[in-house]
């Protein structure tokens, strides 16, 4: 997945709507951005959500722990968790090497696609990251 084509939450999660129409019932893939992985530094633990869990945008989707801190991963979308990247907790290096590909975290069936409108495009997100840097 190309970072330019994704949508982003302020809390540094990305989402890709997998089907073209993008309405309720479509699948979306969720992960955390390269900026977030860089800021967290060395990762030691990832807790994935349970399959079947209903989440609203902003709900906790899991936890990621680095040598610095434990951080929540917030769901950028509303819907049902239908698949998780089960290999990822044992291969945390993927989050650093390929955060928008092999480092995906969960696939969510959208319950309320309108929440997508609150997300940022890549340009707006890049600006947010630049502001946080300074």
- CA dihedral over 97, 98, 102, 107, signed as positive or negative: positive
Quick one: which segment of 15-23, 47-55, 63-71, 100-108 binds another protein (CB under 8 A)? 63-71
CA–CA–CA angle 19, 20, 23 (5° rounding):
75
86 binds another protein (CB under 8 A): no
Smallest distance from another protein to CB 69, Å: 6
Among residues 129, 101, 130, 92, the alpha carbon closest in space to that of 29 is found at 101
101: which residues sit within 8 A by CB, 6+ positions away?
A: 1, 94
Smallest distance from another protein to CB 19, Å: 35
Query: Which residue among 19, 22, 23, 68 contacts another protein (CB under 8 A)?
Result: 68
Q: Is 105 strand, coil or helix?
A: coil
- Name which of 44 and 56 has its Cβ closer to another protein: 44
Distances in Å between the alpha carbon of 3 and those of 29, 80, 95, 121? 13, 24, 14, 9
Quick one: which segment of 29-37, 61-69, 75-83, 106-114 binds another protein (CB under 8 A)? 61-69
Query: Which residue among 27, 43, 128, 129 contacts another protein (CB under 8 A)?
Result: 43
Q: Which chain residues interact with another protein by CB under 8 A?
A: 42-45, 67-70, 133-134
């Amino acid at each position: 997945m190309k970072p330019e084509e994704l949508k982003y939450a302020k809390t540094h999660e990305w989402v890709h709507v997998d089907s073209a129409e993008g309405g309720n019932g479509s699948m979306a893939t969720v992960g955390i951005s390269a900026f977030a992985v860089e800021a967290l530094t060395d990762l030691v633990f990832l807790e994935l959500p349970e399959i079947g869990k209903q989440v609203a945008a902003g709900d906790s989707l899991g936890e990621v722990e680095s040598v610095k801190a434990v951080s929540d991963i917030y769901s950028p979308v509303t819907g049902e968790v239908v698949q998780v990247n089960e290999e990822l907790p044992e291969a945390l290096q993927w989050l650093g090497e390929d955060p928008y590909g092999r480092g995906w975290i969960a696939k969510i069936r959208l319950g309320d696609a309108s929440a997508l409108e609150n997300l940022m495009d890549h340009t707006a997100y890049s600006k947010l990251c630049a502001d946080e840097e300074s």
